[in-house]
Structure 1
């Protein structure tokens, strides 16, 4: 059966007239390839258009349950389903809507695309120029579609895993927000301050991973942060450019486009960890107080400071100046107050890391089972979902 036979719509959109300059602060979301990741949707950098622009793109309205697929560029073949909270929405020309008809379960369809990503990547690279998937390519994909009741069971199993991952992500957001609110409550009106450079240094220790043949490295990148704030474990030979060496006593801040908040306290579960050189790597002079420093530079005032010290004229090309950040004044409430805050915040940040590890394990389980579920090698009716659904009780 062809993909076109089990879909009521396959098609991409367009960039509104005026391009990026026409985007609004609110309205109807315009979903771009930077928002579509494997299995997950990122609202980072989500753009909006007004009612007239949305009407002009009414033919590519995103509906509840639609599968979105990136069809051009380096992110080609990434696919997800958009959470309903981001609707109404439209897509631009780099994203295709794949809408299942009554023959297919939409989540099963997403799972099929993920399980067959290798085929999509091969198709996309068959052109003469940049990677691209055309509507005709997608419509002609051969899909081995089981009966709808089997699809529904597979989808239910995958959904139980995705629900837990989503819950972990939301919980981590709440925990980080709680720590930030407590930091603001305690220190928002403190007049005494100290330059950031007195308590943090910037590390630029660089490594060329390709020289570490055969080793697996924990890689913290901008795309990994935007996707799910979890590092990617990669073979060193596949990491092509130089990276900064990091450890668990680091704080990472994106210097690229600082208007988008990207702050990371890496878990560094292995001794081989690197990050993109698009991050500023801060190392506390007293690692015991890292929770206090993390909250301090995660505050909106620090992002404003970054934006006041950038090179480049437009948002996506702006970069913060690392050395300039060392003059940022952070609260200096005294040792006892700092330690008291760390006692409050440390358990929150540790729980975030636990949740992230749990989500990674669930993703590995999902990805390991997916090919066998798609082929029917594993009978999904015999899988017990109770332990996965217990978090929803």
Structure 2
């Protein structure tokens, strides 16, 4: 992709009309939970979209629930159509927005998700998606004005002001950003496919093993720490600081907090290299990921390091063990798994020949996953740079050559 960003102009002359979101949409509304709650979910059927499936710009099928046709009929007023915008309206993930992939239709949404459906002859869905991403900080401010928890109401969404260019201008602006987003999406699909192939190979070798060992015979469990409250000098350093909500799949690069080297020493933590395996151990228990950059971590995560065991094997051994470990999680205040839980966990060890065979295939796969993830990080940075400038008219879309 080649981008020339030399031409600057104002929004004047792009043919904008000032209006409100409610005036250019044929539907703005949230869904509901089926009768019986989680007990109504089934393995197959109609997709049931929840907050966890909605990321910034992209839909995630991880943890996607399903409901049967009877339950879906009761929620027919919140049936998703192709190109509908999904907007999280409550909780920590409020203001995240994306368009569901058509392969997951038909679908319904729960009460934490709003459907926004623009009038086709007035606004393009892709342009509307980028507009909501552009206004995310403002949406977060609106959502945080509530007394108890972050929430966006239907009225807030309907009253959102929008400077709407002509359809042709919308198409040019959205098209410039779509090229980047399509490449990100393609890389992610490749990564998902590669990880699934590696997981299938590992499972086939794991299931034929007849050597059972303690998890901690193969893997060392290391902890982290956090500087005391108020010691702000230790933050905003150049080291990524891992917390449970930062853990990605399979790699994590960016964390909400960063820490200084002095901060690491102060909280008796350490710097972990790329490809360290992390598992969340408190609160949200059992998320497993790999570090894409050198990282530190807080006390709610464990770092898992192989004892003469390759880190990819550590990753897949942990994925096999984590479901059972989650069932052991308990605590007076929040769920937690301890080092004793790991110590009592049994896993099947691959033979030396099977381990070599697996790594011969999986290592190149995960190197490609890592490379694609790094490229997506670069593309996301470019997209986030272009988004406000294209939407505001600071950059003339005709100067962006793809």
TM range (shorter): 0.7 to 0.9
Change in 2 beyond 3 A, CA 1:77/1:4: same
Indicate the structure whose relative CO is greater, using CA pairs within 8 Å and at least 6 residues apart.
Answer: 2
Mapping for residues 28-177 of structure 1, pairs under 5 Å: 28-101=46-119, 102-177=121-196
Change in 2 beyond 3 A, CA 1:21/1:257: farther
- What is the alpha-carbon distance in structure 2 between the residues aligned to residue 161 and residue 84 of structure 1? 19
The CA deviation at 1:96 is 0.9
Which of 348, 359, 379 is equivalent to 1:342? 359
Partner of 1:285: 307
The CA deviation at 1:160 is 1.5
Which of 344, 354, 358 is equivalent to 2:375? 358
CA RMSD of the aligned region, Å? 3.0
Mapping for residues 280-359 of structure 1, pairs under 5 Å: 280-286=302-308, 289-299=310-320, 302-307=321-326, 309-311=328-330, 319-335=336-352, 337-359=354-376
Change in 2 beyond 3 A, CA 1:51/1:141: same
SS at match of 1:26: coil
The CA deviation at 1:44 is 2.5
The CA deviation at 1:383 is 2.0
| Number of equivalenced pairs | 372
- What is the alpha-carbon distance in structure 1 between the residues aligned to residue 268 and residue 93 of structure 2? 21
- What is the alpha-carbon distance in structure 2 between the residues aligned to residue 380 and residue 109 of structure 1? 17
| Structure 1 stretch displaced more, 185-194 or 32-41 | 185-194
Contact 2:282 2:337 in 1 (8 A): yes
SS at match of 1:253: strand
SS at match of 2:291: coil
Q: Does 2:286 match 1:267?
A: no
- What is the alpha-carbon distance in structure 2 between the residues aligned to residue 32 and residue 262 of structure 1? 18
- What is the alpha-carbon distance in structure 1 between the residues aligned to residue 248 and residue 350 of structure 2? 33
Q: TM-score, normalised by structure 2?
A: 0.82
SS at match of 1:274: strand
Change in 2 beyond 3 A, CA 1:345/1:22: closer
Unaligned 5+ segments in structure 2 are 1-18
The CA deviation at 1:53 is 2.1
The CA deviation at 1:43 is 2.2
SS at match of 2:87: strand
The CA deviation at 1:257 is 8.5
The CA deviation at 1:8 is 0.9
SS at match of 2:208: coil
Unaligned 5+ segments in structure 1 are 386-393
